[in-house]
């Protein structure tokens, strides 16, 4: 992954609507990359919807495991207690 300083900056004068549009464009590009990668894995006749659902379920499982680990660490270190 390239360092953050190589990412194009959002112009300081950009409006909120322009910033949101840039974010949406980025999300769309990310989705297209995921779909292209899945299409490469399954081939031209594979079920892209099924492949996406499988990929998404795996991503959510990994996310849930990470959140559980972070919460467990926070609790273990005493950061989860109300003061």
Q: Cβ distance 38 to 48 under 8 Å?
A: yes
d(C-alpha 22, C-alpha 36), whole Å: 21
**What pLDDT does 79 receive?**
73
Give the H or E element holding residue 26. Answer: helix 16-42
2: number of Cβ within 10 Å: 6
Dump pLDDT digits (tens) for 15-74: 999 999 999 999 999 999 999 999 999 999 999 999 999 999 999 999 999 999 999 999
Query: What pTM was estimated for this model as a whole?
Result: 0.69
Residue spans of the domains in the chain: they are: 19-76
**What pLDDT does 16 receive?**
96
Locate the DSSP E strands across the chain.
Answer: none
């Amino acid at each position: 992954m390239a360092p953050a300083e190589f990412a194009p900056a959002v112009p300081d004068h950009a409006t909120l609507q322009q910033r949101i549009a840039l974010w949406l464009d980025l999300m769309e590009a990310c989705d297209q990359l995921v779909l292209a990668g899945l299409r490469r894995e399954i081939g031209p006749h594979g079920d892209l919807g099924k492949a996406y659902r499988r990929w998404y379920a795996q991503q959510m499982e990994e996310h849930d495991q990470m959140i559980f680990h972070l919460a467990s660490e926070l609790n273990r270190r005493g950061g989860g207690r109300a003061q």
